[in-house]
Structure 1
């Protein structure tokens, strides 16, 4: 880390953005190193870097050169303390439900009345096609398959050969695909 001049520190404290950017660039290795060790559920690397930057800003405002401590050491201590506090806050038991929860997908909104009406019409159309296009065996094999029964289980229920049920299911699928 390069030494930090008194002039750069004063300019940064007065609000000079270029001086503050230079100060951040010089302290970034300390911030990133602390961020790696501060990571926890609820506190990812980027959040820990932000906490380190907040600690650096506090160090710029609160630094007193008359105490005889170099700014780099004081700032490093402020950065590490800010990241440690954030880590401690993120790992509190009161945050456990948030840290352990699974986010809901944002792109799956509940269907509106229009979508429900369209889906109902489509379902009615499909059921009508099943009734008109399929033979009784094909219909029974398809409905049993939709209920989760295997062809062998369906064959026992319908008192048919398993191969006959498999063929009927294949014919039903082929007819419904062609009807689309």
Structure 2
């Protein structure tokens, strides 16, 4: 992470940034810039500059919410926050495209929705059903299963989800199988 000692210097910068020191926060952001850029390039080679900025915008919140007493290194915590912010930004971007008609709404089981999905009442009913399922999902799915489901519903392939979450495709497939089973029994 740049040219400073991760243990001592980072801990001191973090402490000062949590205390409201804007200069310390700026130093942390500068230190994490290369990490954000590398992560963005690995995950989203096309928009890596924008994605790196999106990730870095999450760093102040990561600094504020970090609790050293949980025993997790700040570098690990910050890296997860950066990646999650980039993925969330990418998902929002895809959702905007979908809303403008550039992309179709993908369904959990890969259905194309051609059976009358242009009927507004049916669309509203489907959205209500998805909303109910998502509420149930919050209580029965693991964090990983929620991430996989969300990315799958956004139209990502198993391969893309695997790459984004740094997990084998088989883990993604297994997670979606568990999601289907859990949601089926939760109804």
**TM-score of the two chains, using structure 1 as the length reference:** 0.47
**Larger-Rg structure:** 1
**TM-score of the two chains, using structure 2 as the length reference:** 0.45
